[in-house]
Amino acid sequence: MDAILENTHLNEQQVHMLRLLKKPLSEKAFKELRRLTVKLLGSELDSTIDSWEKEKSITEGYYEDLSKNHFRASKKKNS
């Protein structure tokens, strides 16, 4: 398996995770690992979005204004 992992386009962290998971997990353990991974990635995404909103001075009011407008182009009428 090590030879296979060396010839991939995976980064070092991905290869390390695959090595940690060499032995199959029970379905319960796999679901828990997946749940925790999604929770971590979601938390990181929330943090990134919060930083972006602060940087761009985006407020809740901005989102409310967006929700009240429509952005579809009106259809052209055939004459």
* Structure tokens that stand for 70 in this block: 């429509």
Least Cα distance to 25 among 17, 37, 33 occurs for: 33
The domain segmentation of the chain, as residue ranges, is: 25-70
Q: How confident is the model at residue 70 (pLDDT cuts 50, 70, 90)?
A: confident
The verdict on pTM exceeding 0.75 is no
| Residue 49, amino acid | I
Instruction: For residue range 10-19, list pLDDT tens digits in order.
Output: 999 999 999 9
Q: What is the pLDDT of residue 51?
A: 98
